[in-house]
Chain A
Amino acid sequence: MTVPVRITVNGRPVERDVEPRLLLVHFIRVFAEQTGTKIGCDTSQCGACTVLIDGVSAKSCTTLAVQADGSSVTTIEGLSDGEQLHPLQESFWNKHGLQCGFCTPGMILASHELLRTNASPSEAEIRHGLEGNMCRCTGYQNIVRAVRDAAETMATAK
């Protein structure tokens, strides 16, 4: 059995007939050809696959493509405005919030979710908000700094 699915990925509608078991992360990487979203654990634990579905964060390895039918998905590629990086991307770069970069797309979208729900988080709130995202390299210190830096930039831009 296949099911017709239409998902708008980073502003571009992608239509495919998919097997119901197809995961959203595979739809994004294979059919929408946006490979910024990573598969880390594939068991809902690490957050590398985090994307926004209609603006709200979700683990795309634990979501079926059919569940996202009709939705708009934003991945790391869709966060920048052309050449203009999103403040979170700028801050992760400037504050060295990454080393190998594998966790970074998911980490940035989880940070986006945090700032959507709390524009000025404390350090403890940042750590709590990023609880679902694992980083094997940085030790998190610079990630926390990056998120705080982005929150400040976004507050002054308003």
Chain B
Amino acid sequence: MFAANFEYHRAGSVAEARQLLAAHPGAKLLAGGHSLIPLLKLRLAAPEAVIDIGRIGELRGISNGGGALRIGALTTHAEIASSDAVKSGAAALAEAAGLIGDPAVRNRGTIGGNVAHADPASDLPTVLIALDATFTVNSPDGERSVSAADFFQGMMATALGEHDILTAVNVPAGGGGSAYVKFSHPASRYAVVGAAASLTVAGGTCTSASVAVGGATAVPARCASVEAALAGQALSADVIAAAAAAAGGDLGDDLLGDVFASGDYRRAVTPVYVQRALAAAAERAG
């Protein structure tokens, strides 16, 4: 399959990408290409120009400072999955990155492209919502920071404007334990349902819980009633199971469904995955 023709421009820096975006209205940024190229081949996207940001060194890499991990937008899923800093500071993120697609996809796909594409079946948005990540965006009038809750706005819709470049994802690192568990579609390996949990525990008691579920709704859902049921409790298996049982109700009324899994089915399996994520996070939180 051939994409429609497009002009190709390669940016060597964020500043150059910004100039190219200004000069080519409607252009698409290209990072790893593992969401954009399939769309181009199917001609579901046919931009006049593509701006390749894939070689911009300043957008790549993971650094650790001030209690947070700064992950450059071009950092690949494989790099995140194998990073010791991510494994120890934000285990759920390393886990989710390692469950994306297959090794060849993880070698090319980037965190920036994954969240900018905002596919409801993606894994990283769910984790980044549960971990309260923030997104650093370079826009024509300077840099701004967007919370995960504000970043994801709908199915394949984010807070990024046409001239915005996502430069980094910042993830609070530390304290407790986190985990991501997913029901993969057996063919595509995207998430049918994915659950992320992050817990802090002091003296055997849960001091904070954050839980998100993706795959079932257009934007991953924060599970407020699960979180409320855990706060202040001693984290036994029974407490976790009882809290997780409420997760289906946190998904709202608008569930995604397809020939593989109906909305009702996704709602029904959600507590199972939430429970597994909570159990793994509790073990890591110690």
Contacts and interface: CB of A to CB of B under 8 A. Distances in A.
Given A50-B104, A67-B54, A131 B189 contact: yes
Given A57-B104, A110-B104, A44 B8 contact: no
B104 A47 contact: yes
B37 interface: yes
Interface in B62-111: 101-105, 107-108
A66 B52 contact: yes
Contact of B38 (A19, A62, A117, A129): A62
B105 A44 contact: yes
B7 interface: yes
A62 B102 contact: no
Contacts of B4: 21
B61 interface: no
Interface in A1-47: 1, 3, 19-21, 23, 42-45, 47
Contact of A58 (B3, B101, B104): B104
B5 A58 contact: no
Interface residues of B, number: 29
Given A20-B50, A110-B104, A114-B103, A62 B8 contact: no
Nearest to B102: A132
A21 B188 CA distance: 24
Interface string B154-194: 00000000000000000000000000000000011100000
Interface string B1-30: 111111110100000000000000000001
B241 interface: no
Chain A contact residues (Cβ within 8 angstroms of B): what range? 20 to 34
A56 interface: yes
Contact of B37 (A45, A56, A63, A131): A63
A20 B40 CA distance: 12
B104 A59 contact: yes
B117 interface: no
B8 A3 contact: yes
Contacts of B189: 131
B34 interface: yes
Interface string A41-74: 0111101001000001111001110110000000
Interface string A104-115: 000000100110
A21 B34 CA distance: 14
Interface in A74-98: none
B162 to A, nearest CB: 20
A1 B7 contact: yes
Contacts of B5: 1, 19-21
B33 interface: yes
B144 interface: no
Given A1-B5, A21-B3, A47-B102, A58 B38 contact: no
A19 B3 CA distance: 10
Contacts of A50: 104
B103 A64 contact: no
A20 B7 contact: yes
Interface of A: 1, 3, 19-21, 23, 42-45, 47, 50, 56-59, 62-64, 66-67, 110, 113-114, 117, 129, 131-133
Given A64-B33, A132-B103, 7 more contacts: A19-B5, A21-B2, A57-B103, A59-B104, A59-B108, A113-B107, A131-B103
